Amino acid sequence: MVESAAPILEVVSITNRFAKFTAVNDVSFAVREGEFFTLVGPSGSGKTTLLRMLVGMEKPTTGELRLRGKVINDLPPNLRPTCMVFQSLALFPHMTVGKNVEFPLSIRGQSSGECRTRAWELLKLLHLDPHRYYDKNVSQCSGGERQRVALARALAYDPEILFFDEPLSAIDARLRKVLQKELKDLQRSTGKTFCYVTHSLEEAMVMSDRVAILRAGVIEQIGTPDEIYGAPRNAFVAEFMGEVNLLPITGLGGTAATWDTGRKVIPLTLPAPLAAGTARKLLIRPESLRFLRAGESAGNSVPVRILNEFSLGSRIQYHVEVASDCTLTVQRLREERTAATEAVLGWELADSQILET
Instruction: Decide if 195 contacts 9 (C-beta within 8 A).
Output: yes
Return the closest-CA partner of residue 289 out of 213, 344, 235. 344
Figure out which of the listed residues 86, 175, 255, 344 binds other proteins, where binding follows CB under 8 A.
86
Dist CA 32 CA 28 (whole Å): 13
How far is 75 from 58, CA to CA, in rounded Å? 11
Nearest to other proteins of 76, 253 (CB atom): 76
Q: Does 18 bind other proteins (CB under 8 A)?
A: no
Q: Is residue 57 part of the contact set for other proteins (CB under 8 A)? A: yes
Beta bridge partners of 140: none
Q: Does 108 sit near other proteins (CB under 8 A)?
A: yes
| CA 285/CA 146 separation, integer angstroms | 38
Of 104 and 225, nearer to other proteins (C-beta) is 104
Q: Which of 2, 59, 92, 324 binds other proteins (CB under 8 A)?
A: 92
In the set 44, 76, 273, 303, which binds other proteins (CB under 8 A)? 76
> Are 12 and 67 a contacting pair, CB within 8 Å?
no
- Using the rule CB under 8 A, is 229 a contact of other proteins? no
Using CB under 8 A as the binding criterion, the count of chain residues that bind other proteins stands at 28
90 binding other proteins? (CB under 8 A): yes
Q: How far is the CB of 191 from other proteins (least distance, A)?
A: 21
Which is nearer to other proteins, 48 or 234 (by Cβ)? 48
CA distance 87 to 67: 24
Which range in 54-62, 194-202, 241-249, 330-338 contacts other proteins by CB under 8 A? 54-62
The rounded Cα 116 to chain-centroid distance in angstroms is: 36
Q: Are 88 and 165 in contact, with CB atoms under 8 Å apart?
A: no
Buried b (16+ CB within 10 A) or exposed e, 243-262: ebbbbbbbbbeebebebebe
Segment near other proteins (CB under 8 A); pick from 51-59, 197-205, 278-286, 303-311: 51-59
Binders of other proteins among residues 157 to 186 (CB under 8 A) are: 157
- Taking alpha carbons only, the member of 214, 201, 108 closest to residue 158 is 108
Report the residue number, 137 or 308, with the smaller CB distance to other proteins.
Answer: 137
User: Facing residues of 259 across strands?
Assistant: 249, 266
Q: Which residues lie near other proteins (CB under 8 A)?
A: 55-57, 76-78, 83-84, 86-88, 90-95, 103-104, 107-108, 137-140, 153-154, 157
